[in-house]
Chains A and B, each alone.
Chain A
Amino acid sequence: MMTTTTPVKAEARNLSFFYNGGNHALKGVNMPLYENKITALIGPSGCGKSTFLRCFNRMHDLYPGNKYEGQIVMHPDNTNILEKSVDPIEVRMRISMVFQKPNPFPKSIYENVAYGLRVRGENNKRMLDDKVEEALKGAALWNEVKDRQQDLAFNLSGGQQQRLCIARALATDPEIMLFDEPTSALDPIATANIEELMSELKNKLTILVVTHNMQQAARVSDYTAYMYLGELMEYGDTDTIFTRPTRKETEDYITGKFG
């Protein structure tokens, strides 16, 4: 594995997850997320990628009966964010998420981006204006929308909406950003924009991205994890995984022989 001094931002330790019915969707996953790096999560449909990702912002807490076991430890403070005593809202303030399908709110472009700050009680207009501008610039959307920030977000194109969702997630200065197949609903040009954006964003934060697109994983990520049936089968730096995977299953999946 890696012999590097890159600091670890967060790590899953022996993480298991059970859906309501008892479906054992994650089985003892151990995996680091390196700081200011992009980690890609690949694997066949239903292997548990989204389930794993959504543990990081405690999204599963929204539905009754779901159960976590093990830990996700965040650094440098060493907090286990799955601990019952940790408020999921606190976790979501540190770790934000971009979804598969753009899901803007029924509000203006401006209010979409300001949302995370508003729910934290921020109402200072100057402060919000600055933050919104900064986030829209960070999401490479500023030039396209700066003159129509009061327009309804639904009027943007799909790719713009996804960048708006990235801006929204950025506005609160998260430490980690989760992406669940962020480009699967987008055309190739919008996809290339988002990929480029992710590569820029990693200078500021740590990224975990689920993707079904092998080229995308190879292009954007620094580390790659291959999951199968709820288990982490192989993990390493992306070059190694894509050129010299140690396991036959990984190679078969990457080369498209399987999955």
Chain B
Amino acid sequence: MLAALSAVFTTVAIVGILLYESYGFFEHVALKDFLTDTVWTPLFENPRYGILPLVSGTLTITGVALMIAIPIGTISAIYLSEFASHKVRETVKPILELLEGVPTIVFGYFALLFITPLLQKIFPGLPTFNMLSPGIVVGIMIIPYIASVSEDAMRAVPMSMREGSYAMGATRFQTAIRVVTPAAISGIVAAYILGISRAIGETMVVAIAAGQQPNLTFNPMESAATITAYIVQVAMGDLPHGSIGYQSIFAAGLVLMLMTLTLNLIGHMTRKKFSERY
């Protein structure tokens, strides 16, 4: 109870501070400029406050991550839930959960020092800082998450439904694809959405491996910054409290919060719909 209360209190406090500091920011910056300007340089001599470059960086890295995580995560979930023996499942699941706990800074250096050089062998023109490498690594990071949430959804499909399929002469593969997956679809979609919101919120990997140049592009071969990368970059500097640069991280944070909040809401709604069925 106390824990729940303190969680609620903390959340309210965070949202309050975000709103308060963003309010200060928008006293100086027109909302229209914030949403339409194509350059984000709040700390320069002639500051510009267009959030779009950070949003494009965030979306590009998230997109790359999903192209890796959704297929691999879904296939792993189907395999674990419908094909793996009890023993394999009991071995793999804890490993997945362990992977979820690896500090993200480890993944950040993994991207910069291992994946990027590897990619540069394939694409010689690839700059050291680019969005492809952290995108792939963020994808790898959220595979366990997507796999284990989807697997839970598939395991929640009642055995009687599988038996109905087998009784009609279906194979194991047909049962997995044509019956179990559609039956678990809202849980699987919820896993995707929660995975997306994790990718959007991912900070360290991107801050380390994508370069920290806000850049309005959707080309993963270029360097860029994301909302979260900008926030750590600035927060680690020593901007005076109350300055506009300081306030800009709260405005960026507010955008981030709105993005993940929307996704989480959709995720939880689909999930709820799915749990009602059985």
User: Does B163 belong to the interface (CB within 8 Å)?
Assistant: yes
- A112 CA / B182 CA spacing, docked (Å): 13
C-beta contact mask, B164-196 vs A, less than 8 Å → 1, else 0? 111111110010001100110100000000000
Contact partners of B166 in chain A: CB under 8 A: 59, 62, 92
Contact partners of A106 in chain B: CB under 8 A: 161, 179, 182-183, 185
C-beta contact mask, A76-103 vs B, less than 8 Å → 1, else 0? 0000000000000100110011010101
User: Does A17 belong to the interface (CB within 8 Å)?
Assistant: no
- Asked if A92 and B167 make an inter-chain contact with CB atoms under 8 angstroms apart, the answer reads yes
- Asked if B277 and A154 make an inter-chain contact with CB atoms under 8 angstroms apart, the answer reads yes
Contact among A120, A154, A165, A172 with B164 in the assembled complex (CB-CB below 8 Å): A165
- A62 CA / B160 CA spacing, docked (Å): 12
Contact partners of B163 in chain A: CB under 8 A: 59, 62, 99, 103
- Asked if A172 and B168 make an inter-chain contact with CB atoms under 8 angstroms apart, the answer reads yes
- A59 CA / B170 CA spacing, docked (Å): 12
User: Does A107 belong to the interface (CB within 8 Å)?
Assistant: yes
- Asked if A57 and B183 make an inter-chain contact with CB atoms under 8 angstroms apart, the answer reads no
Q: Using a Cβ–Cβ cut-off of 8 Å, how many residues does chain B contribute to the interface with A?
A: 20
- State how many angstroms separate the Cβ of B164 from the closest Cβ of chain A: 4
User: Does A105 belong to the interface (CB within 8 Å)?
Assistant: yes
User: Does A131 belong to the interface (CB within 8 Å)?
Assistant: no
Known contacts A103-B161, A103-B163, A105-B161; is-contact A115 B168 (Cβ 8 Å): yes
Which residues of B (222-278) have their CB < 8 Å from a CB of A? 277
Count chain A CB atoms within 10 A of each CB in B158, B166, B171, B183 and give the residue with the most: B166
- A57 CA / B183 CA spacing, docked (Å): 24
Which residues of B (128-183) have their CB < 8 Å from a CB of A? 158, 160-171, 174, 178-179, 182-183
- A176 CA / B34 CA spacing, docked (Å): 71
- A89 CA / B182 CA spacing, docked (Å): 22
- State how many angstroms separate the Cβ of B35 from the closest Cβ of chain A: 41
- Asked if B165 and A115 make an inter-chain contact with CB atoms under 8 angstroms apart, the answer reads yes
Contact partners of B165 in chain A: CB under 8 A: 105, 115, 119
Known contacts A101-B160, A154-B277; is-contact A96 B167 (Cβ 8 Å): yes
User: Does A138 belong to the interface (CB within 8 Å)?
Assistant: no
C-beta contact mask, A122-146 vs B, less than 8 Å → 1, else 0? 0000000000000000000000000
Query: Which residues of A does B touch, CB under 8 Å?
Result: 57, 59, 62, 89, 92-93, 96-97, 99, 101, 103-107, 115-116, 118-120, 154, 165, 168-169, 172
| Chain A to chain B contacts (Cβ below 8 Å), 12 pairs | A62-B166, A89-B169, A92-B167, A93-B169, A96-B167, A99-B167, A103-B158, A105-B179, A118-B178, A119-B170, A120-B169, A165-B164
